[in-house]
Amino acid sequence: MAEKIRVMIVDDIVETREQLRKLLSFDPDITVVAMAGSGEEAVAQVVEANPDVVLMDINLPGMDGITATAKLLELVPTVQVVMLSVQGDVDYMRRAMMAGARDFLTKPPSADDLINTIHRMAKLRPRTIPTQVAAATPATGVAGGMPAMRTGRIITFFTPKGGTGVTSIAVNTALALQKRLGSEGRVALVDANLQFGDVSVFLKLKPTRTIADLAPHIDEIDVELLHTVMVSHPSGLQVLAAPTAPEDAEIVRNIGVDENGGNRALKAILEFMQAQYDYILVDTTHAVDDVLLALLDLSDLVLLITRPVIPEIRGVRLFIELLQKMEFDMKRVGLIINSVDNKRMGIQPEAIERAMMPAIARLPLDERTALRAANYGVPFILQSPKQPLSQAVVALAEAIRSRFAETEEREQGAQGGLGRLL
Ligand SMILES: Nc1ncnc2c1ncn2[C@@H]1O[C@H](COP(=O)(O)OP(=O)(O)O)[C@@H](O)[C@H]1O
Ligand SMILES: [Mg+2]
């Protein structure tokens, strides 16, 4: 890195400030440009110090960390604020997010966490802020017009008949998206196949907590609780696993349904997750039930999967008809044709598309690659990245990403160009 990352430390306890400074001194790419003992001091120093990243204690006497964050962002809208808090400050954290904090660390942070977070934040900061945007930034606007909350897109993978490749595609697409977005991107994969979910098998994960542990607590869900239940894959992908025993599906079902018949627990969990992730991909089972109704309600995109065989095509067609009867917005529906085999006598993809809609992706049949992936618990885009099947999934992830990137640009255009700077 040519220029060092400029860091400001805000904490009322002198030892804590020193400790943080010491931890940061191990990284030659980081320089501490200012230390403040209060929110007021931080506000007074920030313009001159011009930090890239501010480490902000949430609990400060006088002006608290949240107010200070909002004020700092008014003065220097490009600064990235990382909030430090002791465990249990969850309600504060939510407010801090609203005020524009970009990330959180629990006190005391480990050197690794601290340094990694700072590097991640520094990458997020635009070096210069376009003048017209700076001028248009409302003086009183929280976070200088930059929404700190993520607005996760929910993408559901579904087919009415089993064995079509739904889980394979959901898992590999999630990994491809996570890879495409890099360390700044946050992708979650939710296994909503409540009885026989196998996402964790595909990813060789051994979840100790699952959606069944979260469901009874939807009224008290917060960032920390969510994080204790999510399982991390080495790729950075976060997984919300299905219950480990089929009978535990009842725990999720017992929370009941909402006025549209949608599963209440799943809905609350996904709504909360939207603020935490950029993309939330959902694997499903093959039933039109309370879980699917909840997903239809919330999904930005429902991807229907069929192989080129008549019974599956028929199933998807019937489901599309059902969606039309429900007056579902068909712009939110996409088609994936899986296991396309040009050499065999399958139904031609063109014929399937004519009967339904143009497919977002056609994925080739590749039994060897798919089977190896399933048996080793290493998804094919990681195990066999060069295979056409993997490359087709990478293209699918990119199609999904660019579809939403375009929508975002349009939405921002509608806000008079005052959208996200990042
Ligand atoms: N494109 C493909 N080519 C060959 N086999 C595939 C392909 N996609 C998935 N499979 C295989 O099909 C089987 C069922 O896949 P799975 O993802 O579990 O389907 P579902 O979730 O719809 O039940 C798995 O053994 C998987 O390896
Ligand atoms: Mg499955």
Distance 370 CA to ligand 1 centre (A): 7
Same fold, 5-145 and 153-414: yes
Instruction: Say what percent of the chain tops pLDDT 90.
Output: 71
Q: pTM higher than 0.85, yes or no? A: no
Per-residue pLDDT for 394 more than 90? yes
**Torsion (CA) 286, 292, 296, 297 in degrees, nearest 10:** 180
Task: Please tell me the class of the 153-414 domain.
Answer: alpha beta
Whether the CB of 201 sits within 6 Å of ligand 1: no
Q: Which of 93-97, 137-141, 337-341, 361-365 has the lowest average pLDDT?
A: 137-141
Distance 197 CA to ligand 2 centre (A): 7
| Annotated domain spans of the chain | 5-145, 153-414
Atom of ligand 1 nearest to the CA of 159: 22
DSSP secondary structure letters along 88-151: T-HHHHHHHHHHT--EEEESSPPHHHHHHHHHHHHHHS-SS--HHHHHHS-TT-GGGG---S--
Per residue in 225-260, pLDDT tens? 999 999 999 999 999 999 999 999 999 999 999 988
Angstrom distances, CA of residue 60 to CA of 8, 35, 64, 65, 66:
15, 14, 5, 6, 9
Atom of ligand 1 nearest to the CA of 364: 1
Residue 334: how many CA atoms within 13 Å on its side-chain side? 19
Per residue in 154-173, pLDDT tens? 999 999 988 999 999 999 99
- Assign domain 5-145 to its CATH architecture: 3-Layer(aba) Sandwich (3.40)
Which DSSP letter does residue 263 get? B
Atom of ligand 1 nearest to the CA of 363: 1
The radius of gyration of the chain from alpha carbons, rounded to an integer in Å, stands at 23
Whether the CB of 411 sits within 6 Å of ligand 1: no
Whether the CB of 322 sits within 6 Å of ligand 1: no
Per residue in 105-151, pLDDT tens? 888 899 998 999 999 888 776 544 333 333 333 333 333 333 346 68
Distance CA 14, CA 1 (A): 30
Atom of ligand 1 nearest to the CA of 365: 3
Whether the CB of 242 sits within 6 Å of ligand 1: no
**β 231-232/238-240 pair status:** antiparallel
| Interacting residues of 131 by C-beta distance below 8 A, sequence separation 6+ | none
